[in-house]
């Protein structure tokens, strides 16, 4: 517990943060360590003392300039697990000491036609953690309390971090794919997001077929209980009721559509996809095959996913990096050298 004096002491302190200086190839070390005032939570916000922050491919896109930073020296990181240490005016959802997760979706307007219709993932004026707002590559960050998540006790901080982006987006993709109960699901690409999604689908009784060029990923898929694992464009051994494309590779759209049974759906999970080659209507779309994209997520998706992940015993494997080695973690992600998900650990994390 803190008394008022100690809170003041924290407020006066500065903190370390790792920010995007000059975006460029990760080998140029675009992240730089900066000294910042510990941020003050505004009305409706809480301040979070960061424990760990997962490293997402979006952070790499930001550091390399593929995703344009909204301002100089923005702090990446949107898979944040930490502890509430100060409340802004009117904040009452959490108490100091509560463990929370801070995800990509940081704010929605609440008044546009999409927000009003419960489709806040399509909000016309959203803000995102670690892009519009400073994220979790830092000792502290502030978050609108309504956009933070309760982290189920089943997960250690490190295990929970990848759930907050990779997990939630994969979960929304799964729901968008309209997989029927006990249905046949194809997963194209098998990285962090797909291996979490596979565990949810398997726990719900699906037959899962994994299509990926990585032999190591195929072995992991079979260990997790997938029915089959084949090459990235191979036909699966049976027609699919639903499929999710995780690999950002547009040339996989035609074979994935061709693998669908009548009435099946292919959901594209990525924020980015290379060009899709021409489709043949008879082969790829007729017989009511559907093709859909997935854009961000709602808070409802996130809450539902975290509860299910705990109930089903979803496991994530992670590799810790001290926060000072954020450039190395991103370089390892770019070079496919991370075993499981990279997670940055705040050297001054709460005990
Ligand atoms: Zn992400
Ligand atoms: Zn809105």
**Sequence-separated contacts (24+) of 121-128 with Cβ below 8 Å:** 121/172, 121/295, 121/296, 121/297, 121/298, 121/301, 122/295, 122/296, 126/296, 128/78, 128/104
Dump pLDDT digits (tens) for 111-165.
999 999 999 999 999 999 999 999 999 999 999 999 999 999 999 999 999 999 9
CA 260 centroid distance within chain:
26
pTM: 0.93
CB 52 within 8 A of CB 346: yes
Q: How far is the CA of 129 from the centre of ligand 1 (A)?
A: 10
Work out the angle at residue 310's Cα, subtended by the Cα atoms of residues 304 and 312, and round it to the nearest 5 degrees: 95
The C-alpha atoms of residue 148 and residue 166 are separated, in whole angstroms, by: 16
Q: How far is the CA of 127 from the centre of ligand 2 (A)?
A: 10
Q: What is the mean pLDDT of residues 209-216?
A: 94
The C-alpha atoms of residue 155 and residue 269 are separated, in whole angstroms, by: 25
The encoded tokens of residue 317 equal 């494997």
Q: How far is the CA of 298 from the centre of ligand 2 (A)?
A: 11
* 292 three-class SS: strand
Residues whose CB is less than 8 angstroms from the CB of residue 4 and which lie 6 or more positions away in sequence, other chains included: none
Q: If you average pLDDT over every residue of the chain, what do you get?
A: 94
CB 72 within 8 A of CB 18: no
Q: How far is the CA of 161 from the centre of ligand 1 (A)?
A: 10
Percentage of residues in the chain with pLDDT exceeding 90?
Answer: 89
Helix axis angle for 299-312 and 192-203, nearest 10°, is 70
Q: How far is the CA of 130 from the centre of ligand 1 (A)?
A: 9
Residue 1's pLDDT is 41
Dump pLDDT digits (tens) for 326-341.
999 999 999 988 878 9
The C-alpha atoms of residue 102 and residue 131 are separated, in whole angstroms, by: 13
pLDDT band at 3 (very low <50, low <70, confident <90, very high): very low
The C-alpha atoms of residue 330 and residue 59 are separated, in whole angstroms, by: 8
* Residue 130 DSSP symbol: T
Q: Which protein residues have a CB closer than 5 Å to ligand 2 (ion)?
A: 108-109, 112, 115, 123
Which residue is it, tokens 């699919």?
240
pLDDT band at 350 (very low <50, low <70, confident <90, very high): low
Percentage of residues in the chain with pLDDT exceeding 70?
Answer: 96
Question: Within 13 Å, how many C-alpha atoms sit on residue 244's CB side?
Answer: 31
Q: How far is the CA of 22 from the centre of ligand 1 (A)?
A: 21
Q: Is the pLDDT of residue 2 over 60?
A: no
The C-alpha atoms of residue 278 and residue 23 are separated, in whole angstroms, by: 34
* DSSP string over 37-103: EPPPP-TTEEEEEEEEEE--HHHHHHHHTSS--SSTT------EEEEEEEE-TT--SS-TT-EEEE-
**Which ligand gives the minimal distance to the CA of 123?**
2
Distances (CA, A) of 53 to 97, 128, 348: 18, 15, 13
Residue 8's pLDDT is 47
Question: Within 13 Å, how many C-alpha atoms sit on residue 69's CB side?
Answer: 24
Residues whose CB is less than 8 angstroms from the CB of residue 100 and which lie 6 or more positions away in sequence, other chains included: 46, 48, 81, 82, 83, 84, 94, 143, 148, 149, 150, 151
**Which ligand gives the minimal distance to the CA of 129?**
1
């Amino acid at each position: 517990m803190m008394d008022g004096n100690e809170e003041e002491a924290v407020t006066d302190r500065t903190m370390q943060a790792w920010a995007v200086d000059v975006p460029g190839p990760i080998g140029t070390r675009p992240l730089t360590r900066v000294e910042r005032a510990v941020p003050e939570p505004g009305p409706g916000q809480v301040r979070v003392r960061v424990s760990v922050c997962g490293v997402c491919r979006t952070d790499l896109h930001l550091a390399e300039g593929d995703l344009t930073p909204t301002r100089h020296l923005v702090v990446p990181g949107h898979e944040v697990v930490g502890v509430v240490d100060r409340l802004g005016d009117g904040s009452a959802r959490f108490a100091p000491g509560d463990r929370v997760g801070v995800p990509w979706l940081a704010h929605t307007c609440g008044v546009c036609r999409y927000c009003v219709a419960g489709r806040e993932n399509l909000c016309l004026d959203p803000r995102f953690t670690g892009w519009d707002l400073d994220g979790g590559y830092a000792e502290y960050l502030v978050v609108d309390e309504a956009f933070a998540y309760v982290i189920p006790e089943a997960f250690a901080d490190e295990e929970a971090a990848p759930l907050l982006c990779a997990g939630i987006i994969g979960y929304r993709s799964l729901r968008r794919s309209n997989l029927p109960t006990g249905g046949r699901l194809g997963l194209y690409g098998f990285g962090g997001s797909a291996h979490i999604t596979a565990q949810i689908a398997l726990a719900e009784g699906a037959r899962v077929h994994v299509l990926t060029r990585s032999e190591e990923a195929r072995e992991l898929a079979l260990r997790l209980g997938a029915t089959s694992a084949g090459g990235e464009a191979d036909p699966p051994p049976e027609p699919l009721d639903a499929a999710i494309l995780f690999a950002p590779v547009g040339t996989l759209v035609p074979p994935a559509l061709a693998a669908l049974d009548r009435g099946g759906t292919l959901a594209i999970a990525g924020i980015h996809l290379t060009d899709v080659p021409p489709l043949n209507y008879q082969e790829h779309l007729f017989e009511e095959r559907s093709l859909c994209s997935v854009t961000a997520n709602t808070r409802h998706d996130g809450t539902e996913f975290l509860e299910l992940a705990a109930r089903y015993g979803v496991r994530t494997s992670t590799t810790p990096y001290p926060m000072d080695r954020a450039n190395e973690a991103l370089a390892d992600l770019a070079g496919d050298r991370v075993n499981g998900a990279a997670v940055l650990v705040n050297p001054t994390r709460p005990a």
